[in-house]
Amino acid sequence: MEARLYVRLEDNKVACNLCAHRCIIKDGQRGRCQVRENRAGTLNTLVYGSLITRHVDPIEKKPIFHMLPDTLAYSIATVGCNFTCRFCQNADIAQLPRNHNGTIYGTPSTPARVVGEALAKGCASIAYTYTEPTVFFEFAYDTARLAREKGLKNIFVTNGYMSAEALDLIGPFLDAANVDLKAYRDTFYQEQCGAHLAPVKETLERMAQMDLLVEVTTLLIPGLNTDRTELTALADFLVTRMGPDTPWHISRFHPTYKLTNRAATPTEELTAAREIGLAAGLKYVYTGNVWADNNGGEHTYCKQCGTRLIDRTGFIVNRNHIRDGKCPDCGSPVPGVGMDG
């Protein structure tokens, strides 16, 4: 299928404008994502409707904590990614074409089928997740448009490396996004992800200007992105450029893929990072991938009076005390979408 967002160049080359890499692709070659191929001057997507996975998840697993809590999200993905993260938790599918000579796997599907399955399974939203949804943009776009017509919410779980053109095109059909802000140093992005920091920040700021719920996730990797000064700068960016109500999820790293020489993140580092975020002025800072009490890091508290509003264990909502979108004790509004209790 012909891809969107590209320009034909001379000598049958094309310029792909889907993400910030803006690949110049020669005839017969693929872009960095390994799922968009130039065929005689026409850029084709190789993964349209070719789903590598589909699951029904709690929306909290995305993680999205401030939209329709305690509901289900129909979660889909194709193979491929425009990053090469050494710590990729879904490398078996995200890096599959890159690691298996360009092989594309997947089960055929259509936007109508995805939307129908989501509705049949009682889901309130569709999440484009597990790999990078930008690289299956055409299918996500068509599905999101139909989902909106059928009353479903749309969620992008993304590395934030899409181009402004891509975000402007799909933005009107998105309701929420969880964006990985993997670190606050460009060298980290270059060495660990094969990318750059600036485009991710630009995407976040652009999203903040849209009618879109944005939550941010940072996977803490010991010794690589846990410096206190760096985390303070990251939190300050979220407060000043995104707003203090922006939820920040701080997630625990477990050794995986090409980064197995690092230990799992100590829980004390998660707690310390959460305190940095709160001290910077963020009102909703969560810690995840910790299957314990977590020192309250999974719960949502009223930013005004401190009342525990949503009690969680992992991805499970034990109790939601919010009433009509407000704290039952002080009446302060709880930011988000569908936070009705």
CA 312/CA 63 separation, integer angstroms: 12
Which of 275, 212, 198 has its CA nearest to residue 242? Answer: 212
Cα distances (Å, whole numbers) of residue 221 to 49, 128, 180, 259 = 34, 25, 13, 10
pLDDT tens track for 278-330: 999 999 999 998 866 566 799 999 999 999 999 999 899 999 999 999 999 99
**Average pLDDT of the segment spanning 238-255:** 98
Question: At residue 61, does pLDDT exceed 70?
Answer: yes
- Range list of H helices, the chain: 91-94, 96-99, 111-120, 137-149, 164-170, 186-188, 198-208, 228-237, 267-280
Query: Is this prediction's pTM over 0.75?
Result: yes
Any idea which residue has 């490398």 for tokens?
A: 91
User: For position 264, what pLDDT does the model report?
Assistant: 96
Q: What is the dihedral of CA 219, 225, 228, 229, to 10 degrees?
A: -120
Question: At residue 49, does pLDDT exceed 80?
Answer: yes
Cα distances (Å, whole numbers) of residue 23 to 17, 34, 85, 131, 224 = 7, 11, 18, 19, 28
DSSP letter, residue 18: S
Round the average pLDDT of the chain to a whole number and report it.
97
